Amino acid sequence: MANMISDETIEYVGILAKLALSEEEKEQARKDMGSMLDYIDKLGELETQGVEPMSHVFPVKNVFREDIVTNGDMREEILKNAPGEKDGMFVVPRTFE
């Protein structure tokens, strides 16, 4: 079934998309939109009784691990590598632009 797209619809979609379409582009857009609507109509003919809705083709599960501290507080050992230390923080030379 061919969907008929009016000139007003093409103009309105062009305004929404902030597009200035030439007459040829409007005609191509009309054909493209008609094709899309025909495809949607075809999808509506599919038998979907008993088909579970899904949002992804593959199962989605959380793969993150629990955030558990395993190495403890090693501040003193880490600060031994600093060029300088003050109040438990690294002190480094100032950089200039």
Question: pLDDT tens digit string along 57-93?
Answer: 888 888 888 888 888 888 888 898 888 899 988 998 8
* Cβ pair 37, 3 in contact under 8 A: yes
In a domain, 21, yes or no: yes
pLDDT tens by residue, 10-61: 999 999 999 999 999 999 999 999 999 999 999 888 888 888 888 888 888 8
- State which residues form the domain around 37: 7-44
Residue 2 has pLDDT above 90, yes or no: no
In a domain, 50, yes or no: no
Supply the CATH number for residue 35's domain: 1.10.20
13 is a domain residue: yes
19 is a domain residue: yes
Residue 70 located in a structural domain: no
* pTM for the full predicted model: 0.47
* Structural domain contains residue 25: yes
pLDDT of 1 over the 70 cut: no
Backbone torsion region of residue 40, taken as left when φ is above 0, otherwise alpha when ψ lies between -120 and 50, otherwise beta: alpha
Number of structural domains (the chain) is 1
Query: 18 lies in a domain?
Result: yes
